[in-house]
């Protein structure tokens, strides 16, 4: 059975305004326009994306850092960090740990591997730098 992107896969990232690739657009630079995901309406199951009408999950893919970036230096809010070092130094656990991963747009649900999200490394330009 093919896994589909669900609201629960996206919900944690919403407060941090993640980037998405809008599908079915002609943008040769990135294979689809890169826009910001601004919010959602869970009742109508639609998402508000910068300069777009309300879209469904099938109309876009969220852009995330792969899990391996937990051990690499990444840029977060203009500051270079190694996420796992921050976790170990601060003792983050439970909800706070997942909130931290969401803020960094780390793919802890393996959405990239399941082709439900796009790695920042698959784009010519990282939208989170």
Digit-coded pLDDT (tens) for 69-109 = 999 999 988 899 999 999 999 999 999 999 999 999 999 99
Number of domains forming the structure of the chain: 1
Spatial neighbors of 71 by CB under 8 A, at least 6 apart, are 82, 83, 84
Angstrom distance (rounded) from CA 77 to CA 61: 22
Decide if 124 is inside a domain: no
For the whole model, what pTM was predicted?
0.88
Decide if 85 is inside a domain: yes
β-pair partners for 47: 40, 55
Angstrom distance (rounded) from CA 87 to CA 121: 23
Decide if 94 is inside a domain: yes
Decide if 56 is inside a domain: yes
Decide if 101 is inside a domain: yes
Decide if 126 is inside a domain: no
Decide if 96 is inside a domain: yes
Domain range for 99 = 7-119
Element (H, E) at 98: helix 94-104
Express each pLDDT in 6-16 by its tens digit.
888 999 999 99
């Amino acid at each position: 059975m093919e896994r589909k992107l669900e609201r629960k896969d996206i919900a944690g990232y919403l407060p941090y305004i993640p980037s998405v690739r809008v599908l079915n657009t002609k943008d040769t630079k990135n294979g689809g326009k890169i826009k910001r995901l601004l919010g959602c309406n869970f009742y109508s199951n639609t998402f508000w994306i910068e300069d777009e009408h309300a879209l469904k999950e099938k109309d876009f893919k969220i852009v995330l850092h792969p899990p391996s970036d937990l051990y690499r230096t990444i840029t977060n809010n203009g500051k270079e960090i190694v996420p796992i070092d921050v976790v170990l130094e601060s003792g983050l656990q439970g909800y706070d740990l997942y909130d931290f991963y969401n803020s960094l747009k780390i793919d802890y649900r393996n959405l990239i591997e399941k082709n439900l999200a796009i790695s920042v490394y698959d784009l010519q330009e990282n939208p989170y730098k």
